[in-house]
Amino acid sequence: MASAPILTASTVLELAAPLPLDGGQSLAGVRISYETYGTLAADKSNAVLICHALTGDQHVASPHPKTGKPGWWVRMVGPGKPIDTDRFFVICANVLGSCMGSTGPASAAADGQPYAMRFPVITIRDMVRGHVALLDALGIERLHAVVGGSMGGMQALSLAANWPERAGTVLVIASTARHSAQNIAFHEVGRQAIMADPQWRGGDYHAHGKGPEAGLAVARMAAHITYLSEEGMHEKFGRRLQNRDAKTFGFDADFQVESYLRHQGLSFTDRFDANSYLYITRAMDYFDLAEEHGGRLADAFAGSSARFCLVSFDTDWLYPTSESRNIAHALNAAGAPVSFVELSAPFGHDSFLLDVPALDRVIDGFLRQ
């Protein structure tokens, strides 16, 4: 087994036609930044689209250009790995609205200035429209599989529901078919933190050098809590103090967990655009696959001939098992071949990114068929 996957291509696609959006507008001059790994078979039957999560990007198995950290799913994607780049042509595209090369609120509008809050509000389905345009450009009519965790899972479900002919298998990990009130609530805390930062300036911070870093960091801190399990957090930090023997009776980061969260928040601001965070969280909050299809989730999958696999984690309280089971039951009612398993892992929602060998086996087995 090779030690590192080989990035085959890192490319930007410029869409020739404007992209129609759920909000009624259309967006001209859309760019989709994507990476591919492996070789597309002559009959184009071995393509696997990986959809990334909220703050993820196209660097699924190649180093992040800003942080230099390894790709976010190197443990899953590469030669001989469960998503085997020796067998599959793996595609991962930065979603519409993000800030890693695809068109988003930080991109220049027609007047040469960043869109900022002039960027249209987008949906998960709009992101998938971008992916489908990419598949069209690559000449891929039907994916072997579409795979995604968290928000990536929402994109996979949306693709299966709205473009049912485009994917043969659909793998959805730690995800949901709709954002719950609690999910929306946490996102709203993050957005308000950004918008309450005076440096946000109604979104027009680009010309002023400094963006709403404090607000964005708080948003990330709040969100990061939802990605961990209480048990995992307790084990990692407990009530341990940070580089000190006693509490300082002040508001420094006395506790390790405070220090950790502050670090997570701050380092996030180096790599992510605050307005992108607003737009993408909004898209997730608007996501309700049943609502898009007359209120009955099973109807969303009426036209699908794909095989589905849903995986949840027992410590994930952001998108808990009940959400995945709900999707499995809807698929069952629609007569679709569906598998669903809740895996045991201590890492909460983040389990899909971390060392869970049972997940490797499920993904490997499911994609082999």
- Supply the residues annotated as catalytic: 150, 316, 349
Helix (H, G, I), strand (E, B) or coil at 55: coil
- Structural tokens at position 295: 């209120």
Binding residue for other proteins, selected from 40, 109, 184, 333, defined by CB under 8 A: 333
Which residue spans within the chain are E strands per DSSP?
A: 7-14, 19-20, 26-27, 31-37, 47-51, 77-78, 83-84, 89-93, 143-149, 167-173, 307-313, 338-343
Torsion of CA 142, 143, 144, 150, to 10 degrees: -140
Residue (12 or 358) nearer to other proteins, CB: 358
Residue (87 or 325) nearer to other proteins, CB: 325
Residue 208, interface with other proteins (CB under 8 A)? Answer: no
Q: How far is the CB of 211 from other proteins (least distance, A)?
A: 44
Residue 87, interface with other proteins (CB under 8 A)? Answer: no
Q: How far is the CB of 355 from other proteins (least distance, A)?
A: 16
- Residue 153 CA neighbour count, 13 Å, CB half: 24
Among the residue ranges 13-21, 116-124, 133-141, 331-339, the one whose residues contact other proteins (CB under 8 A): 331-339
* DSSP label of 121: P
Residue 369, interface with other proteins (CB under 8 A)? Answer: yes
Residues 335-364 that bind other proteins (CB under 8 A): 335, 337-344, 358, 361-362, 364
**Beta-bridge mates of residue 171:** 147, 309
Among the residue ranges 21-29, 200-208, 243-251, 330-338, the one whose residues contact other proteins (CB under 8 A): 330-338
Cβ proximity of 178 and 287 under 8 Å: yes
Selection from 74, 54, 51 nearest residue 64 by Cα? 74
Residue (37 or 313) nearer to other proteins, CB: 313
Among the residue ranges 73-81, 233-241, 261-269, 334-342, the one whose residues contact other proteins (CB under 8 A): 334-342
Other C-beta atoms closer than 10 Å to the C-beta of 251 total: 7
Which phi and psi angles does 268 have, rounded to 5°? Answer: -65, -35
Cβ proximity of 350 and 227 under 8 Å: yes
Per-residue binder mask for other proteins (CB under 8 A), 287-326, x = binder: --------------------x-x---------------x-
Sign of CA dihedral 351, 357, 358, 363: positive
Residue (199 or 332) nearer to other proteins, CB: 332
Residues 24-53 that bind other proteins (CB under 8 A): none
Residue (289 or 336) nearer to other proteins, CB: 336
Residue (53 or 343) nearer to other proteins, CB: 343
Helix (H, G, I), strand (E, B) or coil at 27: strand
Binding residue for other proteins, selected from 21, 224, 332, 346, defined by CB under 8 A: 332
Query: Exposure pattern of 97-114 as b/e (b: 16+ CB <10 Å)?
Result: bbbbbbbbbbbebeeeeb
* DSSP label of 180: -
**Rule CB under 8 A: which residues touch other proteins?**
307, 309, 325, 328-329, 332-333, 335, 337-344, 358, 361-362, 364-366, 368-369
